[in-house]
Structure 1
Amino acid sequence: MNWIKEVRLENFQSHLDTSIEFSKGLNVIVGQSDSGKTAILRGIRWVLFNQPRGTDFMRVSSDFVRVTLTFANEVSIIRERTSSKNRYIIKKVGKEDLVLEGFGIHVPQEVLDAHQIYPLRIDRDMELLLNVSQQLDGPFLLEQTASVRAKTIGRISGAHYIDMAVRDTTKDVAKLQQQTKHVEAEVNILKEKIEPYQFLDHARVALDQSEQKYRDLKRKDEKLSKLENLKNSLHDLSISEETVKKHLSVLKGIDEWERSLERLQFINEKKRSFQLKRSQIAEIRKTMDTCKLWIQKTNGVDVANKNVTVIVQKYNLLTQLNYLKKTSNRLESSLLDVQTTISKTAFATLSEEQKVQKLLQKVKRARELKRLEQSYKTLNNQMISMKRTIERLEEATMSEEKYKQLQSNIQGLESYQLLLEKLQDVNKRLKDGATFIAKKKQEELQLRTNYEQRLVEKEECPTCGGQLNRSAIKQLLNGG
């Protein structure tokens, strides 16, 4: 049997923080008036049955009130109320604390199940708290009315079940009597209504016989239809047989025809292969002719390269001669300036020997300039001939470029062939990858089905251990 082992009152009426331990059996609380004896019973009543209600029992100047009951089975129930909280806390050894809030005026069922001290319900609107009485409560049931005492005694003794059975039986009997009268009235009405239809039994027998005859006629008609279909089929088969015989007479030599057809197909395949090879040979010959033409056009490439080297050398020499010509022109201009200066300074006193030497130098310089002028003309003529040679070699250069372009096209074709092979390999790998993905998706679907079956059989969440039904499993697997 469970009993209260300890009670602790905090800010409950006159108790600031009071703890009282009880022993099993009878316990007596003794003290002066207004020392808080009744408050202890009121605190126990407040925890067990949420009475009294409100906050009038909260100690003055306090912001909370709390009463804790500890039972012999080591279960503790804490009733706590503040300006913003109104809750129960149930503590059990080895289990997490259970906090209950928002329960209204009724004690939560979890609290009643924890302390197992239930009020005695007399009827729908009345219940008695037999385990804890108020200070001025009278002896048991003496202050109650006669009807309440009778209900209470009946409830305690179990006589209310007999009263309920008698009341329900009386209601059922009255209801059945009403239903019997109603059914009898309906039976009389139905008897009056079915009198004009007494002939229906004979009519039903006749109708059954007619239906049997109709079914027989229908079955015979179906047989007749089948026989007509068989007759038509036989006629069609006879015609088909004659046609087949004609065809067989025509196709007596079909074996020889098949052998001839095979020979013709073989000859046709050889013809197609020969035509393909012929077109390939024609294409190769055309390509060879083109290559020979380009080779003929490019025979003088080596000679042209040598001529280009000679032309470059002569062009460099021509550049030097142009430079010398410019130098000669500058010297001639200087010579004229000197002659002008000499003519202007003839009156100067220079010795004849010095004059002769200067003249000799100038004559030597003039001869050198004439020789350079002749060389310049020769180089100029050579340069003109070289330009003509270069113009003739432009066509050879263009041929060489076309030959290089042909070689580049051949290399490009080979690279395209390599790319085509790579593309085929990539397509094959893509196809293999698609097959692999489809296989893995099938395996995933099978594993998902097995997992769902395991969850349905287990009916328990593998993570939290909670109960699962089929709809919750579907939602869990779909990521809900």
Structure 2
Amino acid sequence: MGFIKKLKINNFQSHKNTEITFDEGLTVILGPTDQGKSAIIRALKWVLYNEPRGTDFISVGSNLCRVTLEMDDGTVITRERTNNKNRYILIKNGKKQIFEGFGNVVPVEITKAHGIPKIYLDKDSTCTVNLAEQLDGPFLLSENAGVRARVLGRLIGIHIIDAAQRLTINDLSNAEQQSKTIKSEIEEINLKLKEYEDLPLLKQKIDTLQSIVKELKEKNLLYKKLTTIKDTFSSCNAEIKTLQATLKKLETVSQAEFLVEKIDFAMKVKTNLIDRKLRLKSIENEINKEQNNIEKTEKLEEASSYHNQAYEFYLRLKKLLAAKEIIVKMDSEISTFKKVLEKTRNLNHTVSLVNQLERSCEKLSELKKAKEMKSKVESQINRLNLELEKFKSIEKLDDFINEASSLNQKLSSLISYKHALNEVEASITKGQAFIMQNNKDLTSLASKYAELLRKLSKCPTCMNSIDDARADQIAAEILKSGG
């Protein structure tokens, strides 16, 4: 156990700021009355044991009370209290810990740090052997004999023996009480058991009866099973006889089933051929429409040649119109020169006029040639106009050409339709032959089926009786519905 090395008191009762250094061993505080000796002990108890409680020990005029202990190993324990704060601060090995909300007890870490706990004399009394106040007597001398005995006993471990003795006495007392209770219960049970002394004999009888009952149950179950098997066997024999008779009557049913399957296949083929026939009719209608369109476009090649010839005439006409414009300009120049010649006819033959006249003569010769060309062009224009009158509807040729191209596409599709039509016609021819053969087979199968029904005299599905008239009626319905 260590010892307190230093004590610091701040604002605790009469101590504003007090610091006391202790030596190792016993410390006695001496001094006049009312000088704060008891306050030092109270401050120590407040830090070590959380006593007293409350805030009455805070010095008047202060809000904070603090007491600090410094132990010989360097551990520092500080207790702080304000009106709204109550905590321990532990600094050990350079690590700081704060404890709050500990209530009326001292944190275990604080008690372990200072090593000065209270000594418990028994479960109801404690003793602070390390502190003594001013009016306290010497340790144990002021206590009564019982307390001194308990303390001395604790010092040498007698309290453990006393506790063990008390527990042993209690256990013995409880055991004796339980023993008496158990003995009385045993006596009562023995009295009740006398009523069941014949239980072994009864058990033997019960075991014998149980074995007999078990054997009876097994034999009863076996009897029920045998009865059920017998009934099942009888019904199976009767059913076997019935089935054998039915099988004799239905020896030809497999052949009838084959015929029915064949009839079903024939009906499917017939339905397929009917669909193809309807498609063929629609294709024939399309072919008729396209043939009408082809008849309308028979002269398409002639119209195309007319279009090409008209386009050539148009190009030639365009050239002639350009030449005509040149000739018109030349005519205007010729008329101008004629006027000049008339004005200069009576003038002297000067050099300038001669030169001008020579140039005019040259132009005149050129103009004559142009006039001749003009006459030729006009004749060609007239001839082209006559040709153009024949092609007044040339503007509609583009529409005809577009229509012709679309008709050409339709013609290609008609050719493909024609090939498809030929294939369909071939398929129809084969299908018609197949239908005729199937109709013959169907008639034969229906008659055979009616003959089978007459022989069986019963329906193979519902097992109702069938006479000859009903068999003929069924065959007629098969032929009417096509199978």
Task: Give the TM-score normalised by the residue count of structure 2.
Answer: 0.48
Higher relative contact order (CA 8 A, sep 6+): 2
Normalising by the residue count of structure 1, what TM-score does the alignment of the two structures yield? 0.49
Of the two, which has the highest radius of gyration?
2
